[in-house]
């Protein structure tokens, strides 16, 4: 029953965005991370990998490109944010040339993927970043509080890892320059800054 409700919500971008805004305090945490870690984003070419409904696209400039594997999410994102670019793509096989991006933003995607798939995605990120580029990854970690544990139990991602679990996979291609935990609304994340 609960799973059916979650599936129903996930397939309706307007409702999904609304529920997430409540659970994540209007994405305050994500917005702070974007502002602090990507201060030059307005003038940069930035890939939003696994952009979903494109909810973070307004925080970036004209060089923003969002990709997601879900056609319905991309359709919605194109309708909601018509000035931004969105494309349907598998993050494990991205159809852009090497060194296309100054920065890559990844929020809440890797916990939907198994280790083999994450390794492919991380290799793609490395290929796509320009030399000196920066990647910011923000991922769901095991919940700290009871309410958060309940929300986590509803999450569709089946591969929520400890910070160490994500770090090991990211370190296959990147130097993890900095990382820190972050709580936004009732959700617990770990932020990784990669170079
Ligand atoms: C929890 S949502 C996060 C969406 C967005 N990053 C945000 O923060 O609003 C996870 C997203 O990852 C996308 N996704 C999962 N596997 C993917 C893949 N292999 N390639 C591209 N996107 C993928 C899903 O379609 C979904 O939109």
**What is the position in ligand 1's atom list of the atom closest to the CA of 54?**
9
Residue bearing the bigger pLDDT, 97 or 10 = 97
**Minimum-distance ligand 1 atom for the alpha carbon of 138:** 8
Are the CB atoms for 154 and 6 separated by under 8 Å? yes
Q: Which residue lies with its CA nearest to atom 8 of ligand 1?
A: 107
Q: Kindly state the percentage of the chain with pLDDT values over 90.
A: 74
Cα(112) to ligand 1 centroid in Å equals 8
Q: State the Cα–Cα distance between residues 26 and 3, nearest whole angstrom.
A: 24
Q: Is 184 in the pocket of ligand 1 (CB under 6 A)?
A: no
Residues forming beta bridges with residue 46, ordered by sequence position: 64, 103
Six token digits for residue 137? 């990854």
CA 177 to chain CA centroid, nearest Å: 18
Atom of ligand 1 nearest to the CA of 121: 19
Report helix angle 2-10 to 13-23, nearest 10. Answer: 110
Inform me whether the pLDDT recorded for 155 exceeds 90: no
Pocket-testing residue among 69, 75, 90, 191, ligand 1, by greatest number of atoms within 8 A of Cβ: 69
2-194, what's its fold?
Rossmann fold (3.40.50)
C-alpha count within 13 angstroms, C-beta hemisphere, residue 148:
15
The Cα 35–Cα 50 span in angstroms is 19
Q: Angle at CA 65, nearest 5°, toward 180 and 166?
A: 30
* Predicted confidence (pLDDT) per residue in 24-69, tens digit: 778 889 999 999 999 999 999 999 999 999 999 999 999 999 999 9
Distance CA 13, CA 136 (A): 24
Of all protein residues, the one whose alpha carbon is nearest to atom 14 of ligand 1 is 50
Our answer on whether the CB atom of 133 is closer than 6 Å to any ligand 1 atom is: no
Cα 84 to averaged position of ligand 1 atoms, centre (Å): 17
How far apart are alpha carbons 158 and 96 in whole angstroms? 28
Instruction: Decide if 193 contacts 176 (C-beta within 8 A).
Output: yes
**Burial of 95: CB neighbours in 10 Å, binned 0-12, 13-18, 19+:** exposed
Q: Is the pLDDT of residue 185 over 90?
A: no
> 89-131: per-residue pLDDT in tens?
999 999 999 999 999 999 999 999 999 999 999 999 999 999 9
Q: pTM score, two decimals? A: 0.91
Instruction: State whether the beta carbon of 69 lies less than 6 angstroms from ligand 1.
Output: yes
């Amino acid at each position: 029953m609960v799973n059916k409700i979650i599936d129903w919500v996930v397939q309706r971008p307007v409702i999904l965005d609304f529920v997430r805004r409540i659970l994540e305090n209007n994405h305050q945490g994500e917005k702070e991370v974007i502002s602090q870690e990507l201060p030059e984003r307005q003038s940069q070419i930035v890939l939003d990998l696994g952009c979903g409904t494109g909810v973070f696209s307004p925080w970036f400039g004209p060089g923003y490109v969002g990709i997601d594997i879900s056609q319905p999410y991309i359709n919605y994102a194109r309708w909601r944010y018509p000035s931004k670019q969105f494309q349907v793509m598998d993050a494990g096989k991205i159809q852009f040339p090497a060194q296309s991006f100054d920065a890559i933003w990844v929020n809440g995607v890797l916990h939907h993927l198994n280790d083999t798939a994450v390794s492919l995605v991380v290799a793609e990120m490395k290929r796509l970043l320009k030399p000196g580029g920066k990647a910011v990854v923000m991922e769901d970690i095991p919940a700290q509080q009871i309410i958060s544990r309940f929300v986590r139990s509803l999450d569709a991602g089946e591969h929520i890892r400890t910070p160490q679990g994500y770090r090991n996979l990211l370190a296959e291609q990147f130097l993890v320059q900095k990382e820190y935990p972050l709580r936004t609304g009732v959700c617990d994340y770990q932020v990784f800054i990669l170079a």
